[in-house]
Structures are given as structure tokens and as C-alpha cells.
Chain A
């Protein structure tokens, strides 16, 4: 589903590579943690996956399409198949939980009927059906991240990419969010999580790719944080 071959990335020709010769494959339905110290290249890798930036060299294929060759006009359609979850939630603050989730469906041209059916369903999945009409700014951090998650799965994407999804949350809430991600993964969605959260990584015992200075330092199928580093 995701294949990186000799993948390199640097932001300008004078600077060193942020990602340096990455080679990996992620199959459909996998749950993968990407760990590493700050500056190891985790966020850069995720940005490449959603085609926010393009590789400097090498190949990065998602759904069989090489992102280096993808024309800009195709990018929105790629992103509709990849749900993004951010550390800072990136929600429309002055709108309701319903509106934030509905928004992801509306951009794909979904009918109003579809929006009215699908949004309550995904809000129910993340346990926020009762707060559909609350404004985002009135909700807690954990609730906001659940909305972020609901928005990410609204379009039934094949992949969820989460960049430090628990970075701003307390341990209990973090575990809730991770359990939700695990539930989404069990339904067949590929999940890729960049994180620093040692406890979560150790508890879930999923595949762990560890980056160091832009290179893959280790890639374990049922990894734990300490062993990966």
C-alpha cells in the first residue's frame, strides 16, 4: 500500500538530507509507529505521504501511484484517501463538532443526505454523538482530538496518518485516542502514527520504525520503544 524506495528529502541543495535513503513497505491494514528524536525526520515523512512536499530523490508509492510523478491537480483526491490527525488538532474553532466532520465530506461533493447520515455515525464511533452541536472551542483537548479523528475517518480513507496525535493530551486521554486508532485499524484501515509516547508504543506492541538522522535505524514487527532505539 505504501512503498518507499531509496527515498531522500532535503529542503534546499545546500542543506543535508532530512530523509536519507529510506526503504520500507507498509501493507494494507498494518498499524505502524514511526518513532525517533526531534529532527529525526518523522514529520517530514508524513508530509511526503500527504504530498505536502515532494521527495528530492527516490520513489514513494501510495495505492500504486508514485507521488513524485503525481500532478498537483490529483493531490486533493489522494488526500481524500488519507485521513490526517494532527498534534494541534487543526479544527475550525468557531464551528460545531458536526460542522467540522461534515466539512471533510462536503469537500468531496457528498450529498446533504449522506452528510446527515455519516457525520452522526462517525461522531458515535469516537464517542461524541452527544456533543455534535457543541462548538469546538468549548470542548476539551481530548474531545477536540476525537473530532479530529472523526474528521479523518469520515471519508472512509484507506490510510490514517497521525502526527503526534497524543502530544497535547494527558496519559489517560492519550490511551483513549490510541484505542480509537486501534479500533479503526481493526476495521481494516492502515494506520501510521508518528509519536514520542513511549508508554503507548510499548503498550500496543505494533510495528515500530525508528528514524535517526533521517535514516531507518530499526524496523521491528512487534516493537517496543526502548528496544527500537
Chain B
């Protein structure tokens, strides 16, 4: 009985969509355009977040070991750094390795200097913090550790970088919230309009003795279908837009623009757009019928 009821509601929903096909197409069109705009902005925002996170993660602290430090002081420093839970990565760079890197970087410019006989560089630790934002606090703490000669983390530049990324992320979030609200408003009102246009039909159903749920189900299923279509179509569009963007980045050798991988992006977009589209379709239909059912 329940299954038959569902089948009836489903077949009525499909018939309803077909009978009012122009209205359905217009409704899906509004949902598609709105979610496409929202999805595009989400895609951009997600990648800005990803790029800023990547940049932030590359910020590191270099702790130079005091040349005058004793072996036990050096051992103590190593033990303290390894045990520090605020640090996600601690890498010891011996002065010989530091010299090799310098020679690689400067090449011919160092010709004529016998640096291996008299290496001017110091042993150091390259450190990454668990929270990139805590880099300046952690750096200040490290200055008090034994055997530490000096600490460098790009003072001034890092603070500015974090301020810029924070502003970018906040503005993105704000714009996205605004766009999402607009989408909710537009879609809900379009669905409401489709129900309003068919208010006579609802009234007739009431007069012949249909229960409220008997009337609601086909409309809810119609709303669900319209919402789902309205969410899946922009996802397909966004897939092609993103593929083109990734291809453009690769073909122009803009590899410093580290974009999110395609499956991750599409998954995140689907996670938000599909429930938003279908949810609005279902809730929009259910709520906008309320006053027509009071007959």
C-alpha cells in the first residue's frame, strides 16, 4: 500500500513536471544559474584558501646554533626541539650541507673562495610549526632555548602575509554567505511561484477529499527533482570550467598556482550544491503549499 502510494505520488510528480514543462524548465533554469554562480564562487574561494594555506605552510623558522655552544648544550637543544609539540617538522642542517646548498645557489659567484677550508656558515635547524599562524610566538620561545645563536623566520613579512590571507579568506566567506543567501531566496521564491500557479489544482484536490499528504507528496517529489536537476547541471558545468582552468594553469607553466585536485573540488562542490538544491526544492514546495491547503 505504502509502495503503491509512493509509486502514485512519483508518477503524478513526473506527470506534473511534464504538464507544466515550461514552468519546470524555467524553475530548473533559475536554480541552475543561481547554483552555477554560487558554485563558481565556491570554486574560486576554495582555491584561494588552498593557495594561501600552501603558502602559509611553507613559512619556516631557521634556528642557528651558537658556535660557542658545547656538545651537551647542542644535545639539549636537539632534545627540546624534538619534544616540542608545537613543531610539526624539525630538520637539522649541518654547516657542510648549508654550504653545499649555497654553492648550488650561487654557482660561479663563489669561484676563488676556499669555503670548504674556512666554512663561514653555522649549523641550523629548519623548523615548521603545527599551526603556521603561531610561527612568531614559537620563534620567540625558541630564542630562549640553550645553544641558540639566532632565530630567523622572515619577521615582518610573515605577519603581513597572514593578515592578507586572513582578509582574503574572510572576504571570500562573507561573499559566499551572501551569494548562498541570494540563492536560497531566489530558488525558494521560484518554487513558491510554481506552486502558486497551480493553486487551483491544489484547491480542487482538497474539494474532492484528498488528504494534505496525498497532495503534498507529488509536489515535494517535483521539488526534489527540480532541485536535483538544478544542482547536477551546474556541477557538470563546473567540472568543465575547472578542467579548463587546470589545463590553462599547466599550459602556461603557472605551477606556483597550486590548484586543488579535481576530485576534491568536485566532491566539496557536490557536498554543498546537491543538498542545497534538493533541500530548497523539497522545503520550498512543502512550505509554499501551506496556505493553499487550508481549504
Q: Smallest CB-CB separation from A81: which chain B residue?
A: B209
Within the complex, the shortest CB–CB distance from A27 to chain B, in Å, comes to 23
The CA-CA distance from A106 to B209 in the complex, in Å, is: 10
Considering the complex, which residues of chain A in the window 46-103 have a beta carbon less than 8 Å from any beta carbon of chain B?
50, 52, 73, 76-80, 84, 90-92, 94-95, 103
Query: Are B8 and A50 interface neighbours, CB within 8 A?
Result: no
Are B207's CB and A79's CB within 8 A? yes
Do B208 and A79 touch across chains, with their CB atoms under 8 A apart? yes
Whether B203 pairs with A76 at a CB distance below 8 angstroms is no
Report if A76-B210 is in contact (Cβ < 8 Å); known contacts: A52-B295, A92-B201, A92-B204.
Answer: yes
Chain A interface residue count, CB cutoff 8 Å, equals 22
Q: Which residues of B contact A (CB under 8 A)?
A: 1, 5, 8, 19, 200-201, 203-212, 214, 295
In angstroms, Cα B295 to Cα A84, docked, is 14
A100 → chain B closest CB, angstroms: 9
Decide: A107 and B210 in contact? CB cutoff 8 A: yes
Name A's B-contacting residues (CB within 8 A): 50, 52, 73, 76-80, 84, 90-92, 94-95, 103-104, 106-109, 151, 155
Is B200 within 8 A of A79, CB to CB? no
A107 touching B19, Cβ below 8 Å = no
Asked if B19 contacts A84 (CB within 8 A), the reply is no
Verify B207–A90 contact, CB threshold 8 A.
yes
- Within the complex, what minimum Cβ distance (angstroms) separates B10 from chain A? 14
Q: How far is the CA of A220 from the CA of B214 in the complex (A)?
A: 42
Q: A52-B295, A107-B214 are in contact. Are A90 and B203 (CB under 8 A)?
A: yes
Assembly CA distance A95 to B18 (angstroms): 12
Contact status A155-B209, CB under 8 Å = yes
- In the bound complex, what is the Cα–Cα distance between A94 and B5 (angstroms)? 24
CA separation between A95 and B295, bound complex, in Å? 22
Query: How far is A152 from B211 in the complex, measured between Cα atoms in Å?
Result: 17
| Docked CA distance A185–B181 (Å) | 58
Partner of B207, one of A50, A94, A108, A155: A50
Contact B200–A90 (Cβ < 8 Å): yes
Chain A residues lying within 8 Å of B8, measured Cβ to Cβ, are: 106
* Least CB distance, B15 to chain A, in whole angstroms: 9
Beta-carbon contact of A108 and B209 below 8 Å: yes
| B211 / chain A contacts, CB cutoff of 8 Å | 73, 76, 107
In this complex, what residue of B is CB-closest to A157?
B209
The distance from the CB of B233 to the nearest CB of chain A, in whole angstroms, is 27
Report the separation of the CA atoms of residues A52 and B208 in the bound assembly, to the nearest whole angstrom: 12
Contacts of A103 in B (CB 8 A): 204-205, 208
